[in-house]
Amino acid sequence: MSERCLPGIMAEEDSPVVHFLPGRGYDSNIMVLDGERPVVVDTGTGTVFEHYCERIEKILEGRSVDRIVLTHRHFDHSGGAAAMARRLDAPVYVHEWAVDILRKGEGEMTGAWLFGATQEPVDAEPLEEGDEIDVGPVRYQVLSTPGHAPDSIALWHEPSRTLIPGDTVYAEGGIGRWDLKGGDYDQLVASRERLADLDADIRYPGHGPAVEGGAADHIRMGLKMVRMYGGG
């Protein structure tokens, strides 16, 4: 899916506006949840953070970013967080499990070393299950979905059945890894079952294309695949 910009279209409570910026190279996708208090979800590795910031600023047409939310701590999602937080003047939020790891900039626990990079410390604030991301007037629920990582979260907007699952499930049911530090196969299956039960219609995953319409079928397909490959 190509990058979409809908300047001037404001979100309503039951129909959120999500701008989807496909990740370049190893970067995660980046989403801008538009509204009165826009939120950026994930930041990529940071190599081309300027590119994303310019895109975000163009989309928001002078409105400022209220906060940056990370779907989990992995470097391909969090590597750009410190630089983007400075540039966009916005605080960063991540699941409470990963707050200290990001504050210390731990290269091993973020996986920065896999990319031959260093993790710049991020002054992160905690999120947990049940929190609400109020973009105004649209409100997303924070779901704790461990498995790919203990700190994996998904954002869920029930009225429009819009799901932002991070790396828990990709398009076509692709399987997020569970063999990285803190990953857990049984938790991943349980989290995928939970996401499948939501009956999502639209999904913006951490990597690869977005799914618009019938996203739940992809999630169920992915659940079958992850069960077929089994725990390792």
CB of 75 to Zn ion, least distance (A): 8
Residues between 156 and 185 that touch Zn ion (CB under 5 A): 167
Kindly state whether residue 203 participates in binding Zn ion, applying the rule CB under 5 A. no
User: Position 123: which residue type?
Assistant: D
CB of 57 to Zn ion, least distance (A): 26
CB of 180 to Zn ion, least distance (A): 7
Residues between 59 and 78 that touch Zn ion (CB under 5 A): 74
Kindly state whether residue 95 participates in binding Zn ion, applying the rule CB under 5 A. no
CA 39 to chain centre: 11
Contacts with Zn ion by CB under 5 A: the residue count is 2
CB of 43 to Zn ion, least distance (A): 13
Cβ atoms 90, 66 nearer than 8 A: yes
Q: Which residue lies nearer to Zn ion by CB, 153 or 215?
A: 153
Cβ atoms 154, 164 nearer than 8 A: yes
Q: Which residue lies nearer to Zn ion by CB, 106 or 167?
A: 167
Among residues 172, 219, 166, which one has the least CA distance to residue 195?
Answer: 219
Q: Which residue lies nearer to Zn ion by CB, 11 or 195?
A: 195
Among residues 41, 38, 1, 42, which one has the least CA distance to residue 16?
Answer: 38
The sign of the torsion formed by the CA atoms of 87, 90, 91, 92 equals negative
Question: Does residue 187 sit in helix, strand or coil?
Answer: helix
**Footprint of Zn ion (CB under 5 A):** 74, 167
